[in-house]
Amino acid sequence: MSVRKFVIVDGSSLLSTCYYAVLPREILFAKTDEEKMRHHDKILHAADGTYTNGIFGVLKAVASLVKRQQPDHVAFVFDKTRDTFRRELYPDYKGTRTSTPEPLKQQFVLLEQILADVGFKVLYSDRYEADDYAGSLVMKFRDQIPMVVMTKDHDYLQLVDDEHNVRAWMVQARQEKADELYEKYYAPYGLDKKSINLPEKTFEFTAEHVFAEEGVRPCQITDLKGIQGDSSDNIPGVKGVASAAPLLLNEYGTVEAVYAAVREAERDKKALKELQDFWKQNLGISRSPYKALTKTGEQGELCGEAAALLSKELATIKTDIELDYTLDDFKLSHYDEGKLRAWCKKLDIKEASVFGAEGK
């Protein structure tokens, strides 16, 4: 049954997940890039050599989304480059990531072409990341229609807003993990997966679920990453604080407020001791994070408050990209299944594998 909603799909996340999910074992267990390249011919591909393993998974997910969840509006957002405005703020942003494998890189370009051709709006640029476009779409249309962001990236949790009916369909690594979340949060209310009607391996996060799983409210996700950092994006955070971060944020609200409390207490030794006693006795922080929070860097080392504030800025999704679209531009009615089937034929992908046996 269709429930009116606008679904924003993190295309980069979905394609990468689908690509790595079905790689040949020879590539998965290869120890060097050279060894991986020797087995590229084993990756699922069309007769003309076009790689299709990731695209196949995405097209299958798209066909299922259209048929089962039946959203009114759909958009796809992608990362085009790592050299976005965030690298101007911090040159090492995403600096620990390996280069994108050529077979995956080729599928990004082709998938974007396919999705646009079959009628979906596809957003990406050299300046912004996928989540920035998702955030800007949410902010532009959330007062007109319930919004859903579909991704595995926890950065998107900052967009969840019960007041404005913004949810997150978080894609789990395994169906078993999604089932665990169902049992934990839905079963007590007598709800089952069928009645919730979500895509495979996904769980819908409300603000309540964000707090239960992350320890902070959605609007504090950026503050959490400001302190804890994010190794996947090489966001530094404040080393040595980690588990204390949610406890501090539940008390003070923001990174800025945490440091305001510290600076106020530093005016005399007694107040500083009282603050750390308060952290231990009232907040349950067993080991004081004071030294880590106030560490002074040497020879350009980024740490302490400077690291926290920069990390928060890096983790904050932009919500003000100027988008010259109306809600109607994203209507599912623009979707042309016939064109998608034609792409399947062109890429030697069996239609039954994408649309299901009943969709032949």
pLDDT digits (tens, 9 = 90+) for 138-147: 999 999 999 9
Question: Would the pLDDT of 255 be above 80?
Answer: yes
Best CA proximity match to 116, nearest among 327, 328, 335, 344: 335
Residue type, 288: S
With respect to residue 213, please indicate whether it lies within any of the assigned structural domains: no
pLDDT confidence band for 302 (50 / 70 / 90): confident
With respect to residue 212, please indicate whether it lies within any of the assigned structural domains: no
With respect to residue 214, please indicate whether it lies within any of the assigned structural domains: no
Residues 174 and 257 in one domain: no
Task: Supply the pLDDT for residue 124.
Answer: 97
- Average pLDDT of span 349-360: 80
Judging by DSSP bridges, how do beta strands 6-10 and 166-171 pair with one another? unpaired
Residues 119 and 56 in one domain: yes
The CATH number that applies at residue 272 is: 1.10.150
What is Dmax (Cα atoms) for the chain?
Answer: 76
Residues 123 and 73 in one domain: yes
Task: Supply the pLDDT for residue 156.
Answer: 98
Task: Supply the pLDDT for residue 298.
Answer: 73
pLDDT confidence band for 1 (50 / 70 / 90): very low
- Average pLDDT of span 221-241: 95
CA atoms within 13 A on the CB side of 265: 18
Residues spanned by the domain of 234: 220-315
Residues 167 and 307 in one domain: no
Residues 147 and 267 in one domain: no
SS3 per residue for the chain = CCCCCEEEEEHHHHHHHHHHHCCCHHHHCCCCHHHHHCCHHHCCECCCCCECHHHHHHHHHHHHHHHHHCCCEEEEECCCCCCCHHHHHCCCCCCCCCCCCHHHHHHHHHHHHHHHHCCCEEECCCCCCHHHHHHHHHHHHCCCCCEEEEECCHHHHHHCECCCCEEEEEECCCHHHHHHHHHHHCHHHCCCHHHHCCCCCEEEECHHHHHHHHCCCHHHHHHHHHHHCEHHHCECCCCCCCCHHHHHHHHHCCHHHHHHHHHHHCCCHHHHHHHHHHHHHCCCCCCCCHHHHCCCCCCCCCCHHHHHHHHHHHHCCCCCCCCCCCHHHHEHHHCCHHHHHHHHHHCCCCHHHHHCHHHC
Residues 84 and 195 in one domain: yes
Are the CB atoms for 214 and 157 separated by under 8 Å? yes
With respect to residue 284, please indicate whether it lies within any of the assigned structural domains: yes
Sign of CA dihedral 10, 15, 16, 20: positive
Instruction: Please give the tally of structural domains in the chain.
Output: 2
With respect to residue 59, please indicate whether it lies within any of the assigned structural domains: yes
Question: Would the pLDDT of 136 be above 80?
Answer: yes
pLDDT confidence band for 300 (50 / 70 / 90): low
pLDDT in tens, 6-56: 999 999 999 999 999 999 999 999 999 999 999 999 999 999 999 999 999
Average pLDDT, the chain: 94
Task: Supply the pLDDT for residue 2.
Answer: 46
- Average pLDDT of span 178-188: 92
The CATH number that applies at residue 101 is: 3.40.50.1010
Task: Supply the pLDDT for residue 218.
Answer: 98
Residues 41 and 140 in one domain: yes
With respect to residue 168, please indicate whether it lies within any of the assigned structural domains: yes
With respect to residue 157, please indicate whether it lies within any of the assigned structural domains: no
Question: Would the pLDDT of 87 be above 50?
Answer: yes
Residues in Cβ contact with 343 at an 8 Å cutoff, skipping those fewer than 6 apart: 59, 114, 117, 118, 349
With respect to residue 282, please indicate whether it lies within any of the assigned structural domains: yes
Residues 199 and 231 in one domain: no
Residues 226 and 179 in one domain: no
Question: Would the pLDDT of 193 be above 90?
Answer: no
Both structure tokens of 311: 């990390």
Residues 311 and 330 in one domain: no
- Average pLDDT of span 328-352: 97
Task: Supply the pLDDT for residue 192.
Answer: 77
- Average pLDDT of span 331-349: 97
Best CA proximity match to 326, nearest among 73, 10, 8, 5: 73
Residues 11 and 86 in one domain: yes
Residues 188 and 224 in one domain: no
- Average pLDDT of span 288-300: 85
pLDDT confidence band for 191 (50 / 70 / 90): confident
pLDDT confidence band for 354 (50 / 70 / 90): very high
